[in-house]
Amino acid sequence: MLKSFLKSQKWLSKQFDRLFPEKFRLDGQTDYQKNIVPAYLKENLLVYDIGGGKRPYLNPGEKKRYKAEVIGLDISAEELNSAPEGAYDQKITADIACYRGAGNADLIICQSLLEHVHDIEAALAAFQSILKPGGLALVFVPSRNALYARLNMLLPQVVKKKLLFTFFPESKVKLGFPAYYQKCTPRALKKVSADCNFSVIDVSYYYNSVYFRFFFPFQLLWRTWLLLYFAIYREQAAETFTLVLKKNSIIPAIVAQDATDR
């Protein structure tokens, strides 16, 4: 009974969404996976997949086709060990906020991770330590400004997981981890990236999510709120966003001066 009702509500919500322009219907993670990352993938790269766990971006066949060396870094050894055989050339179990690399990677792939990190500056410092000068970090981030993110921060974890798994049973294999959304807004993350000696070379904003589709009146209210929010705050209303960050090869003068002062 509940399953049939949810199915009908999700169908109705999808039909309603067809009334909106394409920019409000584009799914951010799909665009990241199908368009953003492929634009920067080429052969013979050393790639860090950070937070990919059991679902690495490159499957073994794609890794072989790109002749890529892929290092998987995740806080959970269980997640890493559940990845397809051959997906990772090396597995590192570590908290990204505490990790420091060898400065030899060409590319970082990081999707839906930073909202789960307590210390964003430390995580970006880890990115700096992993990448060689000129290396790129491709980051997909759910925004703290999104209504679902605000609810996520307010509700107890046990309640969130119960609701999530009831209305989106398919999410049991990929969602439900605690989230903090520290500085996970377009404006804040661009600023902290610049402060951490990255150049932001591309940004994409998305205004679509699935969290209220299970009950059409909620979807209607959410869409109304989103349009009003967008009318006032523009890109800050994004539900999710993507940053392409380039590690600067030259330390900014202010940073160099600070180092000299110490």
Q: Is 231 exposed, middle or buried (0-12, 13-18, 19+ CB in 10 A)?
A: exposed
Give every CB contact of residue 185 below 8 A, 6+ residues apart in sequence.
Answer: 143, 144, 145, 236
In angstroms, the CA 15 to CA 13 distance is 5
For residues 144 and 115, the answer to whether their CB atoms sit within 8 Å is yes
Give every CB contact of residue 26 below 8 A, 6+ residues apart in sequence.
Answer: 206, 207, 208
Closest CA to 82 of 189, 173, 198, 202: 173
Q: Kindly list the structural domains of the chain, giving each domain's residue range(s) and its CATH number in brackets, ordered by start.
A: 2-257 (3.40.50.150)
For residues 238 and 186, the answer to whether their CB atoms sit within 8 Å is yes
Give every CB contact of residue 184 below 8 A, 6+ residues apart in sequence.
Answer: 114, 115, 120, 141, 142, 143, 144, 149
pTM for the whole structure: 0.88
Instruction: Please report, in tens digits, the pLDDT of each residue of the chain (262 residues total).
Output: 778 988 899 999 999 999 999 999 999 999 999 999 999 999 999 999 999 999 999 999 999 999 999 999 999 999 999 999 999 999 999 999 999 999 999 999 999 999 999 999 999 999 999 999 999 999 999 999 998 888 877 766 665 556 555 555 555 444 556 789 999 999 999 999 999 999 999 999 999 999 899 899 999 999 999 999 999 999 999 999 999 999 997 654 444 334 333 3
Handedness of CA 250, 251, 257, 262 (dihedral sign): negative
- Count of CB atoms within 10 A of residue 16's CB? 14
Q: How does DSSP classify residue 249?
A: S
CA angle 150, 141, 6 (to 5 degrees): 60
